[in-house]
Amino acid sequence: MRPILASLVSVAILITAAVAIPTASAAPILRERYSGTDAWSFDDCGFAVDATSTFEGLFMLKSGHAGDATPYLFDNYAATEVFTNHETGAWVKVEHNGLYKDLRISLVGGSVYEFISIETGQPFVVSDMDGNVIVRDRGLLAARFLVDTLGDDDLSNDIFQVESWSLVRDAGRHPGFYEDFCVILSDTIG
């Protein structure tokens, strides 16, 4: 369930910093609008599911502070995913609309950094085939996590230390963040 895990990791990362922390104000080193589509299938929930996704957003990287090579990430995103039971044709729609932002990056030691980040908006809204909203997450999530940058500014080789991730603030309602996505799918299209 690649997209679900990616969504949860993004939410987790965004949730890391809901405390009042000064934000990065450096000029963007990369500013890019993006959009696309994707399709995949999985059976992790006990039945075959076909999924499609459309997405768009604005992605930025801002320079690290005081000459540090570690960039700050900003992603203002919107996506719609449709999950369809392969056997029955029943489907559910998941919409994501939010903002992820690194608020503070601090050197812990060596090439390991602590990130404090937030995700705001409606990162997870689930609707059934009749348009009824089943789950709506909204508000702000702040998270704290560690990343080993390996001492360079190449984001593709960074090592996210999953076990270090912790939610530091949940300001709003985020029932979907705490619920197993397979339970949501089973209850709606299973």
Q: Give the model confidence (pLDDT) of 7-28 as tens digits.
A: 444 433 333 333 333 444 446 8
User: How many CB atoms sit inside 10 A of residue 41's CB?
Assistant: 10
pTM of the model: 0.78
pLDDT at 27: 63
pLDDT at 39 over 80: yes
Domain count for the chain, please give it.
1
Q: Enter the tokens of residue 37.
A: 């589509």
Give the mean pLDDT of 152-178: 91
Domain containing residue 154: 2-189
Which tops the pLDDT comparison, 142 or 3?
Answer: 142
Distances in whole angstroms, Cα of residue 22 to Cα of each of 38, 136, 139, 143: 36, 29, 19, 15
pLDDT at 64: 82
93-132 tens-digit pLDDT: 999 999 999 999 999 999 999 999 999 999 999 999 999 9
48-98 tens-digit pLDDT: 999 999 999 999 999 888 777 788 999 999 999 999 999 999 999 999 999
pLDDT at 20: 33
φ, ψ (nearest 5 deg) of residue 158:
-65, 145
